[in-house]
A and B are shown apart, each in its own frame.
Chain A
Amino acid sequence: MKFIVSRVEDWDVVAKAIAEQLKPGMAVRLTGPLGAGKTTLVQALAKVLGAKSVPRSPTFSLMRTYQVGKRIGIKRLIHVDAYRLESASDAHALGLDEELVGGDTVLAVEWAEKLGNLLNAIPSISVQIETDPGDGVRRVSTAP
């Protein structure tokens, strides 16, 4: 699917479309340059999934966990940011495999490309965000 995001509210539309396809154990892989709106999209997604608090950037903490409850079977959203990671093997420190064991968790991963094939075994939705320096509009495409 393709979306044009020109206002903050437009992210809610993208988030709803992603949430429709999201099942427990899945990952949302987000790619796009600094300031593209990856964290903003995760904030919208958390809202759609029923999180009580608004996600903040996990760049320094690497990951943050949110309790959610609006979609059947999804009880936790883990917001991961691979920005500070240098190689895919670094991500083992996050213990993501362990986090998914419970079967009630979804991941939203910023800078997912930095994790290499670490997410390959996890069913994913890929979200690519492109920025246009001229008009500030974001072009978003999602793929299963």
Chain B
Amino acid sequence: MKPLRILGIETSCDETAVSILYASKTKVEVEQDFVSSQVPIHQKYGGVVPEVAARSHVPETVSLITEALGKKGFKAFDAIAVTSGPGLATALRVGIEAARVLAWLSGKPIVGVNHLEGHLASAWLNAENRKLWKFPLLALIVSGGHTELVLMKNFGKYRIVGQTRDDAAGEAFDKTAKLIGLPYPGGPQIAKLALQGDAKAFDLPRPMMQDPSLDFSFSGLKTAVRQAWEPWAKGPEERREQAKRDLAASTQQAIVDVLIEKTLRAAKKYKVKGVLLVGGVSANQLLRESLAKALVERLPGVAFLPSDRKYITDNAAMIAAAGVWNLWRRKKDDWRKLDAKPEWNL
């Protein structure tokens, strides 16, 4: 486990991100961290503009790498980690091609990282979490595109023990928000409105909560929310706005209840020593607080290891961290052969 200064590159979806991470046995520090978020553009259009995102990966990757390396050039890093999947092929290739060129020119090692392993590693960037880091661990990855329960037996030894069968949790937030007329992104909007709403006002389903598997299903919530909203949508404004707040609170509670129940069940089943909470939806305050509380009450002794808020959405520091995990286990790739793996399973 020799000290490494690693350059991380992430372009798997909407974000372009570049980071430099220093890692030794005793210290892990994010030295440079740039994300050129597409969110302002998305808000303007009321949606996401993937083609704009994919196209802008090229100039943004170049400018962020230039910024991160600064005057040190190739001396700024010892190795390169790049997201090679899963994701959109055209977007992934932008980061991969940049990384391959850097590896070829600098002669330094390169490793292709799984984006989901990056999310797992985001929790490891926190020093408190590293102190409590004892395998086996369970991770709940929740974002716009992912809802997975991952059993981690060691670095590099992962098994997906539960996942969504249809929509991701973040997608459920965004789409139900859209149904009740809230702007993009829906998750934060629902959470904000929910603060003034009654979570018990609407009796929404908890999909698959009683199902013995550890899988999730959020697709049915769309129909449930649409049907619940229908009578209010055309009602008088004042009552409609309160109904909207109540429905936001009820929707959030339904999603959070299922996530927590399945996570606790998995943690118990696999007798894990800690639970990671990672991915964009882990910004949700109710989810964070409820999971922390549920662990204390129902599984005392199991550590709660959430990633820091700045590393929950797609970023390159987490990709660099996963790169460290790989390189310390002597796993690396040949730059001549590294290619995008759009459907790469963890």
Contact = CB atoms under 8 A, between A and B. Distances in A.
Interface of A: 34-35, 39-40, 43, 54, 56-57, 59-65, 83-87, 89-95, 131, 133, 136
A61 B88 contact: yes
B242 interface: no
Nearest to A60: B145
A86 B86 CA distance: 23
B50 A85 contact: yes
Interface stretch (B187-195, B196-204, B221-229, B288-296): B221-229
A136 B168 contact: no
A35 B50 contact: no
A65 B49 CA distance: 21
Interface residues of B, number: 39
B166 A56 contact: yes
B49 A86 contact: yes
A64 to B, nearest CB: 7
Given A35-B223, A86-B47, A90-B49, A61 B87 contact: yes
Contacts of A85: 47, 49-51
B339 to A, nearest CB: 14
B48 A84 contact: yes
Contacts of A34: 175, 178-179, 222, 226
17 contacts: A34-B226, A35-B179, A35-B226, A39-B167, A39-B219, A57-B166, A59-B144, A59-B175, A83-B47, A84-B47, A84-B49, A86-B45, A86-B49, A87-B51, A90-B50, A95-B90, A136-B223
Given A56-B163, A86-B49, 7 more contacts: A35-B222, A39-B167, A56-B165, A56-B166, A60-B13, A60-B145, A91-B51
Contacts of B227: 133, 136
Given A35-B226, A90-B52, A133-B227, A40 B219 contact: yes
B205 interface: no
B222 A93 contact: no
Tell me which of A56, A60, A89 has the highest count of chain B C-beta atoms within 10 A of its own C-beta. A60
B164 A95 contact: no
A93 B51 CA distance: 5
Nearest to B164: A56
A99 to B, nearest CB: 9
Contact of A93 (B90, B164, B179, B226): B90
A63 B167 contact: no
B91 A93 contact: yes
Nearest to A55: B166
B345 to A, nearest CB: 9
Tell me which of B45, B48, B91, B179 has the highest count of chain A C-beta atoms within 10 A of its own C-beta. B48
B171 A60 contact: yes
Contacts of A89: 51
B170 interface: yes
A35 B50 CA distance: 22
Contact of B145 (A61, A93, A95, A133): A61
Tell me which of A35, A64, A94 has the highest count of chain B C-beta atoms within 10 A of its own C-beta. A35
Contacts of A35: 175, 179, 219, 222-223, 226
A65 B170 contact: no
Nearest to B41: A86
Given A39-B166, A56-B164, A84-B47, A93 B171 contact: no
A133 B167 contact: no
